[in-house]
Amino acid sequence: MCEMLDRVEARGMEKGRAEGMAKGRAEGMAKGEDMIISLLKKLTPGSEDYYKALNASSEERKELYKKYGIA
């Protein structure tokens, strides 16, 4: 009986972990989208930083977030 309860508990824990990871991923994506939108709104289209933001690596984007007070 205990083995059966352990299996049920383990399945519940795994399901909870998967749901938590999916929710965390979705929240992270939403936050990232908000940050890039905020950055692009602060930049002048055609400016050097605007093009840099569009083509930046994650590290370069972090620097732009700092420079424009987003991060």
For residue 1, pLDDT over 80 is answered with no
Q: Which range of residues forms the domain containing residue 19?
A: 2-67
Cα 31 to chain centroid, rounded: 5
Confidence at 5, pLDDT banded by 50, 70, 90: confident
Q: What is the pLDDT of residues 39-54, one digit of tens each?
A: 999 999 989 999 999 9
How many other C-beta atoms lie within 10 A of the C-beta of residue 64? 21
Q: What is the pLDDT of residues 7-25, one digit of tens each?
A: 888 898 999 999 999 999 9
pLDDT at position 14: 92
pLDDT at position 27: 96
Number of domains comprising the chain:
1
